[in-house]
Amino acid sequence: MYNKQAIAEGRTALGIELGTTRIKAVLLNHERQTLASGQHTWENRYENGIWTYSLDEIWAGVRACYAALKEDVRQKYGVTLIGIDAIGISAMMHGYMVFDRNGELLAPFRTWRNNNAEFAAAEITKLFYYNIPARWSIAHLYQSILNKEPHVADIAFQTTLEGYIHWKLTEKKVIGIGEASGMFPLDYENKTYNRRMTELFDSLPAVKEQPWKLLDIFPAILKAGDFAGNLTKEGAKLLDLDGDLKAGVPFCPPEGDAGTGMVATNSVRRGTGNVSAGTSIFGMFVLDKELSEVHREIDIVATPCGESVAMVHCNNCTSEINAWVDIFGEFAAMAGRNLGRGEIFDKLLLHALKGDADCGGVLAYNYLSGENITAIEEGRPLLVRTTESKFNLANFVRAQLFASVATFKIGFDILLREGITVGSVCGHGGIFKTEGVFQRFLAAALGAPVTVAETANEGGAYGMAVLALYMLQNQGLPLADYLEQKVFAGVNVKTVTPDKKDTKGFARYMDNYIRGLPIVKEAVKVLKNE
């Protein structure tokens, strides 16, 4: 009855996150408890050499997700969702969305998954002496300039996916500082875009030819706790086709999925770290000292409150596992068994625990798209084994799970060599839902304890809803203290320490994995995407 009244009176906070394969919405009460959720499954398309979604797909997905949330509220509480206290929008980081002065999209949305800006990224990295990955917004912009794409001269606004949705719902061209750090390097002392680097960029000959300067087209930066605008009447209609949602709802700054992952795992304080595993896998390690040199494998980004973070980002994690689960689902249906996707996941992942520590010599590469850390230009998922490998179902699934963390391990080892200490890592994402499997293998890979909270399955949408509540409730309390004292106090967690046998087996797997990378590169050369 308490929660029913809270919903009826609008004493709630909503977080919506657009991931690569799923859009999810989570509704919290003022005590940070999950009241309802909704989701919509979607998938990016590879068109004309670009990983993309259309604007129609984006809004259809957001509306379907919100409608699913409304229905969940109605089913559980018998009320219609009309008023909300605060909303936050999150999405996959980076990418390229540019608009003209009339608000029209100038080029197809390019997601983080695209590696076609490698040349531009390398050039800017040399200019700034600061690592610029190919998926960053500034790399896509400069590559478009170098390619002499005709739309560039008409750019009036550049943002990311969550910045775009926030803009359309509130009319505010702003971005959270964590997401801003994946658009362009920051000045961490002043919490702004790095002025020296913006001037260097604007001075490049090809950029000087444009009728705009960088800061004229980028969104303004806000930090966690800041007010970021109100839901307009037009925005309410965009979100809720039924017309029930009232306008005027305050919004917190839109944040990327990396930032919401840090919030969802209570990992925003210096010296903490987390791993988010989904379509991509990335680890965020909040720094207490600067790295000694620039590493092309390591991004320097920010927490939602502006602390510097070393980010190890890999484009590929669970997509190949998802594809195999669907294959097994087809077989089950042929055999007359109607198994749900979650049940198939559980059966396969738990069976992987019965495999050999090193997967019996079975080797998998889960590269559905290119991978920066291992210099793989395009995706070519592969399964490789010798005639002497112990090829059975347990080793097959275990190899797929090892592959999902193998590239991340390569980047993580760079941080260890830099002297970054990792006491314990918090994990979140749907792959952790099958208890004790991916968590165990991740601990073996990193050689560090991995902790998973009971809220981990809620993921970034939950973290975004928490940031929306933080805007309302912080009362000057730093975000790290708010999370520890208000959100995670009393939350159940489970910690898995590395198993020696698993650790040794993973090390043997990694030796084979690294030696086998030329096989993937050869597949890229031989098998061309048509």
Domain range list for the chain: 94-159+184-217
Q: What is the pLDDT of residue 107?
A: 97
Q: What is the pLDDT of residue 489?
A: 87
Question: What is the total residue count of the chain?
Answer: 530
More confident residue, 88 or 114: 88
Is the per-residue pLDDT at 293 higher than 80? yes
Q: Please provide the DSSP assignment of 291-353 as one string.
A: -SS--TT-EEEE-TT--EEEEEEES-SSHHHHHHHHHHHHHHHHTT----HHHHHHHHHHHHT
Rounded to whole angstroms, the Cα distance separating 309 from 284 reads 6
Rounded to whole angstroms, the Cα distance separating 30 from 3 reads 10
Q: Give buried/exposed letters for 345-369 (b at 16+ CB in 10 A, else e).
A: bbbbbebbeebbbbbbbbbbbbbbb
Rounded to whole angstroms, the Cα distance separating 487 from 477 reads 13
Give the Cα-Cα-Cα angle 331, 334, 340 (nearest 5 degrees): 65
Is the per-residue pLDDT at 424 higher than 80? no
> Residue 91 half-sphere exposure, CB side, CA atoms within 13 Å?
23
Q: What is the pLDDT of residue 456?
A: 61
Rounded to whole angstroms, the Cα distance separating 188 from 114 reads 27
Q: What is the pLDDT of residue 530?
A: 62
Over residues 297-308, the mean pLDDT reads 94
Instruction: Give residue 166's Cα distance to chain centre.
Output: 17
Q: Does domain 94-159+184-217 have CATH number 3.30.420.40?
A: yes
Rounded to whole angstroms, the Cα distance separating 326 from 127 reads 45
Instruction: Give the range with max mean pLDDT: 48-52, 299-303, 492-496.
Output: 299-303
Q: What is the pLDDT of residue 477?
A: 95
For residue 379 the two structure tokens come to 């995706």
From 299, 293, 300, 429, select the one nearest 372 (Cα to Cα): 299
Over residues 232-257, the mean pLDDT reads 97
Beta bridge partners of 164: none
Is the per-residue pLDDT at 476 higher than 70? yes
Contacts (Cβ under 8 Å, ≥6 apart) of 236: 243, 245, 246, 247, 249
